[in-house]
Every structure is written in C-alpha cells, then in structure tokens.
Amino acid sequence: MLSGLSKLLDKAFILGFFLPALLGFTGFLAANADIPAFCDLLHKATSDSDKVGSLFSFLFIVWVLSLILLVLNNWFYQVLEGYKWPFNREAWKRDERNRRNRQLDLIERLRTELATENSAIERLKASKESLEHRKAESNRATVRARLYRNQERNARDFPRHENLVLPTAFGNTLRAFEGYSSEVYKVDSIFVWPRLLAVIPKDYQAIIADARAPVDFLVGLVVLGTFTSIFTLVRAIDIWLADGLSGNYLLADLFQNAAIAAAIAAIAYRLAILEARSWGDVVKSAFDLYLPALAEKLGFVLPTSQAAQREFWAAWSTQFRFHAPANTAWWTRIKPVTPAAATKADWEATDSAGETDEVRGG
C-alpha cells in the first residue's frame, strides 16, 4: 500500500497528472471567474489572506482531479486515438488513409527520382570531375535525404497496413510504434508487454515512464482545455439567448475565454503527437534490448536465426493472446542449475582464479 502511495509522488505522476490538473483547474476558474464561487476560490488560493487554509483546499481539489485523470487515462487515450465517440468517425478514418496514401505516393515518386539520378551518375561515371557529374551527385544526395526523411515520417505516423489505420493522427502515431514489435519480431506488443516489463530493469522502466509522462501531461491539457472550452461556450450561449446583447461585455469575455481554451487544447493535441513519437522510440528500444531476457525468463534459449526467432515469438504471442499452449518441442530449454552444479562451478571458478594469480606472480 505504501509503495502504491509513493507512486503518487513520483516525477511521472507529478508531470503527467498533477501539473495538468493544476493548470487546467486554474484555467477553468479563470475562464469562468464571473461565477462568484469560482472567483472566490481562485482569489483565496492566490491571495495572502488566510493563504494556508485556502491554498490547502485548492490543492486538495487539484489532487483529486489529478487522480481522476490517472484513473480515466486509458479511456482518454482511447477517445483521442479514435476508438470511441466522438472521434470514431468512418469519414475521419478515410481522411487518415488518404493522408497515408499521399505519403506513400510521395515516397514512391522519390524512389523513382532516386533511380533516375543513379542512372545519370552511372552514365557520367567516366567524367567524375565534370560539372554535370557533381550536379548529379548533389541531386542524388538531396533526393536520398528527402526519401529517408519521408520513410521515417511514414513509419512513425502510420501503421504498416492500411486496415490498421485509425481516425486520428494521435491514434495512428501510437499504433505505428505498437506495431513495431509485430513487424520485426512477430511479437504481439499488447499481450507481451506485461511480461516484458517483468525483465526490464528498473532504471529503463523509469526512462519509459519519463518518456510517457509528457504525453500524459498533454493529453490531460487536451481533456481539461476541451471541457473548459465547452463549459464556457455553453454558458455564453445560454446568457446570449436569455439576455441578448445586454450582457455583451460578459459575452465577449466568455467567447474569448472559450476560444483560448480550445486553442490550448488544439496545440496540446499537436504536441502530444510529437511527444508520442519520442515515447514510441523508447518502447521500441525496449523490445530490441530485452526480448532475449524474456526468452530466458520463459526458460528457453532464443534461436539464433531471425526466421526462427519470429516463429518463437509468434508461438508465445498466440499463447498469451488466445490461451493456446505454445508448441515448445522445437525450442531448446535452458538447463536448470542444481545446487551441486552451482557449488562445483564456484569451486572451479575459484581454482581458476587462483591459477591466474599464480601465473601473474600473485
């Protein structure tokens, strides 16, 4: 229990949930400061009079809000990825597929252009010092750089297969790095990840948490900024319908505050996509570095060939996902070390060390 409480005080929680709750709640109160209760709470939290008690109440509300963000974090992700309403639109999915296809078309054109430049250089290889040859070399370098840049962007922004494209750019960025382990190793990341975490060292787990925290922070800003914008806009429309132009000064402030909150949410969403790419690089590296340790933890020697490794992980992914036992007859088991064998190995190591000392004159 105490270890669980300590996680609510670590850097990832403070940055990922407490800080967006603090900023979001403060912005919500400021955007609707014409409501006496909100104005009073904001004033007491920032004024010098009775500062300790009022600040404690304010921070307690922020703390509860940060816990709500933590509990609902996965649901918020699913909404922003396009799995749930209101972003699970088929039209949006078509738009994302078209954006992906345009990117692939550009990559194909660059490949054709690069092949053309290679052919030109081949024709001019007899005159390497000529101006035409140097120009062709420069053009090839430019085209190659554009090709690699767009290939990298496509790999980070979209899943490999068109049927996996989601309705939002944020969802496709996450799905792109989630599919890396399957494309390279035949590992189902969703079901293997909890097992992989068991063998990832604590220091690298901290790196993963630090990489995800900015994404959680920005997702929280998106949620709270959107809520503030909608709440403030609904109030403005309600006042407009009830009082007409008599409250025009208040209406102007409310409409302006709603627009600012919406702009903050939109900016946070775009930044979340950029941070998700960096988070994805760290997650992909975890599969590269620690899959062999997971194989050892499962009690097997990881095959040496890439094809055999893919078969190995495909079998285990099937077991983890469908509860169908993997056929392990093809894989080499790690022989357990008995206490007697361990003692013998220790003695041999000691003797070897003694002999080495004697050779060195120890």
In tens, the pLDDT along 105-161 reads 999 999 999 999 999 888 877 676 678 888 888 999 999 999 999 999 999 999 999
| Res 130: pLDDT | 78
> Using CA atoms, how far apart are residues 38 and 232, in angstroms rounded to an integer?
13
| Res 44: pLDDT | 75
Identify the residue whose tokens are 């068109």: 162
In tens, the pLDDT along 322-362 reads 999 998 888 999 877 555 555 555 555 555 444 434 334 44
Question: What's the pLDDT band for 90 if we cut at 50, 70, 90?
Answer: very high
Question: What's the pLDDT band for 242 if we cut at 50, 70, 90?
Answer: confident
> Using CA atoms, how far apart are residues 32 and 24, in angstroms rounded to an integer?
12
Residue 313 or residue 359, greater confidence: 313
| Per-residue b or e along 201-226, where b marks 16 or more CB atoms closer than 10 Å to that residue's CB | eeeeeeebbbbbbbbbbbbbbbbbbb
CA-nearest of 216, 224, 214 to 260 is 224
* Average pLDDT of span 293-308: 94
pLDDT at 5 over 50: no
* Average pLDDT of span 267-279: 97
| Res 24: pLDDT | 97
Burial class (CB in 10 A: 0-12, 13-18, 19+), 16: buried
User: In 3-state terms, what secondary structure has residue 156?
Assistant: helix
| Res 241: pLDDT | 85
pTM of the complete model beyond 0.85: yes
* Average pLDDT of span 204-232: 97
| Res 254: pLDDT | 94
> Using CA atoms, how far apart are residues 315 and 325, in angstroms rounded to an integer?
8
In tens, the pLDDT along 45-68 reads 777 555 666 778 888 999 999 999
CA-nearest of 206, 208, 199, 180 to 302 is 199
